[in-house]
Amino acid sequence: MTALHVELQDGWEGRPVEVRLDGSLLADLRPRTRYQIGLAEALEFEVEPGAHELEIVAGDLVAREELTVDAETWVGASLAADAIELRVQSAPFPYM
């Protein structure tokens, strides 16, 4: 198993959010960004290595990312006015 970190970062103000992996619901939240550090929620899931589809759903906004998780992976999700923006990287995000 490999760690997949999903971090809800900027712009979250308490609206319902679902985190799905390969169609399965992993988390159902109402995150609020702590603007001092730019983070609302940090989640960690153990997944099988290989290809996965990550979905972040907030109302009518949906972001999808095809991921290949062969090593520990971090995904940052920020909510803009009309879109959810995803960033994928192989190292932790820096927070103050």
What residue spans define the domains of the chain? 2-86
Q: What is the pTM of this model?
A: 0.94
Q: With a cut of 50, list the residues of the chain below it in pLDDT.
A: none
Q: What is the pLDDT of residue 96?
A: 60
Whole-angstrom Cα distance, residue 43 to residue 3?
10
Whole-angstrom Cα distance, residue 90 to residue 11?
23
Q: What is the pLDDT of residue 40?
A: 97
Which architecture characterizes domain 2-86 according to CATH? Sandwich (2.60)
What DSSP element (H or E) covers 63? Answer: strand 61-69
Whole-angstrom Cα distance, residue 46 to residue 28?
17
Q: What is the pLDDT of residue 81?
A: 82
The predicted-structure confidence for 21-43, as pLDDT tens digits, reads as follows 999 999 999 999 998 999 999 99
Q: One-letter amino acid identity for 40?
A: A
The SS3 of residue 48 is coil
